Structure 1
Amino acid sequence: MSKIWFITGSSRGLGRAFTAAALERGDKVAATARDTGALDELRDAYGDAVLPLALDVTDKAAVDVAVKRAYEHFGRLDVVVNNAGAALFGVAVEELAEEDLRAVMETNLYGPLRVTQAVLPYLRTQGNGHIVQISSASGLVAHPTLGGYNATKWALEGMSEALAAEVAQYGVKVTIVEPAQYRTDIGTTPPAHFVPNPAYDGLRAAFANAAAQATVPDPLPEAAAPAMLKLVDAEHPPLRVVFRSQPLPMIRQAYAERLATWADWEHLSREAEGVPA
């Protein structure tokens, strides 16, 4: 049976790729974007199978209206993809402006929260549904000059893990997707209040140099679409899945180091509860 999708940030990048792939295989999509004109090509190609909806996920009232319209138009919602995101790259923690961090949190954390809260009454009533949160490999491992972005994705990860445990009883599934880099234009605009500190120029240069010397180019967003289709078709989808194999060694190393550190300092954990080492 074909699925009904609700996808935020459908106008470009991964969201556009997921929307096009779902439509191509015969599914129907409530496709949201700040500018629905960017969805005209999809509407021309797929007609009534796509419902373009103007939406800025930082506007809670607009989220509620868009979700209600999508549900009433299609009669159900099977897959909800919280894809809309904002970047905050190349900024050291000391350089972070609170206004910039709050702005990115509005999109990367509060946006998915608003959509999730809006769709859950419908999914619980249906007794099924799949919420897919687009996080990042940066939601698992932090790097210098990405602290603000890491904070938004780590917060999304924690919220979504709790959500999965809360809604499983209603037949609702939750998956956190952690993509590595794809060829999109995310992160190309500097934050509005960013004032560089020369103390961190060396770090920024090192990261830029490493990216320039990468031997394998980042794939186009369309490369992730088949994986997304298989994910939402799975009877028992995972809580977490990484899109792209490139970050897996780094993630495995980070988790191994965490386990080793906790083991090395277990004596301090016991002391912290009043048990002699």
Structure 2
Amino acid sequence: MRTSASKTDRVWFITGASRGLGRAFAEAALAAGDRVAAAARSAGPLEELAAAHPGRVLPLTVDVTDREAAFSAVAEAVAHFGRLDIVVNNAGMLSMGMVEEFTEAEARAQMDINFFGALWVSQAVLPTLREQGSGHIVQISSIGALAGFPSSGLYGASKFALEGMSEALAMEAAGFGVKVSIVQPGGYWTDLYSAMHTTTAREEYAPLRAELEKQFSEGSIDSAPELAAEALLKLVDSDEPPLRLLLGSMVYDLAFDVSRKRMDTWAAWEDVSRAAEHGIPAPGVVAAAHQ
């Protein structure tokens, strides 16, 4: 990993910056000498941060699920600071519940903030980053995008969608000098769980819920958000940032375990997979040839 010590006074655009990981990212960027456009649904908590760093923080009140509002917030940040260097799509929420339990409104709300919010901000910043010929978009994903887990199916779906979009975005933006990275964090002491939404529980899933609660109580590992912020600074300081970055030993080990199991399954079913493909001419071409 090559890093550059000359990367100073950068301009960040961070969503969900009022608390949790977003707040830790903003504080780390400011400590590094950078400037921050800090976006949140309520910018009130950011006023203290702005007061502590005069002229270096632009608090923005924005609901990123509103595409027009997201574009307006980005435009305001560019007008204020003159450019953007690092964009961190961190805004998100956690909805817990079995897949069968989600109402349409609950499912759409989960996708709106975790996927569409990041999509709208990514679209909004691209014209500026393209014109500059530089920039780095960082998508904050989750351990939930490594595999599906009981009770977090819709949350995982939103992060799977985010990663699929971001992989394509990375290839589309590369020719303009714009980098894209996907960060997959494990557990951190934020209000993600205390502020999470839960579905109306169905009695049929009570035994599974009890087992999951036991697992969580015995195996939960959470860290200080500042550690994630330190890792993020190393990522954006790199001259060659990776497409994906795992945060935490548990996530790191899980990623390899999941990948190995998938490869083993693919290998076990190789004959069936290969037998399902045998190229033939397009049906219309065959019909035309016999006329």
Same fold (TM over 0.5): yes
Shift of 1:213: 2.1
| 1:131 and 2:137 matched | yes
The C-alpha deviation readout for 1:104-141, integer Å capped at 9, x for no partner, is 10000000110000000000000000000000011112
- Give 1:191 deviation, angstroms: 3.6
Say which of 85, 89, 99 aligns to 1:82.
Answer: 89
Q: Which amino acid aligns with 1:233?
A: D
Deviation at 1:195, TM superposition (A): 2.2
Moved more, 196-205 or 260-269: 196-205
1:209 aligns with 2:214: yes
Letter in 2 for 1:222: E
- Structure whose alpha-carbon radius of gyration is higher: 2
- Establish whether residue 271 from structure 1 lines up as the match of residue 275 from structure 2: yes
TM-score normalised by structure 1 residue count: 0.95
Contact 2:21 2:225 in 1 (8 A): yes
* Counterpart contact for 1:77–1:129, Cα < 8 Å: yes
Q: Tell me, which stretches of 5 or more residues in structure 1 are unaligned? A: none
In structure 2, C-alpha distance between the alignment counterparts of 1:176 and 1:105, rounded to whole Å = 17
> Does 2:154 correspond to 1:148?
yes
% same residue = 51
Q: Is the 1:77–1:123 Cα contact (8 Å) retained in structure 2?
A: yes
Among 8, 12, 19, the alignment partner of 1:5 is 12
* Equivalent AA in structure 1 for residue 90 of structure 2: N
Gaps of 5+ in 2: 1-7, 280-291
2:269 corresponds to 1:262: no
**Which deviates the most, 5-14 or 200-209?**
200-209
In 2, the alpha carbon distance for the partners of 1:34 and 1:249 equals 35
Q: What is the CA–CA distance in structure 1 between the aligned matches of 2:230 and 2:251, rounded to whole Å? A: 19
Q: Which amino acid aligns with 2:272?
A: L
Matched, 1:109 2:125: no
CA distance in structure 2 between the aligned counterparts of 1:31 and 1:114, rounded to whole angstroms: 16
Q: State the alpha-carbon separation in 1 of the partners of residues 195 and 92 from structure 2.
A: 13
- 1:198 and 1:190 map into 2 onto residues whose CA distance is 21
Q: In the comparison of the two structures, how many residue pairs are matched? A: 272
Q: 2:242 matched to 1:238? A: yes
Give the counterpart of 1:99 among 105, 113, 119.
Answer: 105
Contact 1:88 1:187 in 2 (8 A): no
TM-score, normalised on structure 2? 0.90
- In structure 1, C-alpha distance between the alignment counterparts of 2:107 and 2:140, rounded to whole Å: 18
Structure 1 runs (4+) deviating above 2 angstroms are 187-192
Instruction: Please state if 1:198 is matched with 2:203.
Output: yes
CA RMSD, Structure 1 to Structure 2 (Å): 1.4
2:174 aligns to what? 168
SS of the residue corresponding to residue 77 of structure 1 reads coil
Deviations 1:205-245 (A, max 9, x none): 2222222223x751121221111111101000000001111
Q: Distance in 1 between matches of 2:121 and 2:153?
A: 25
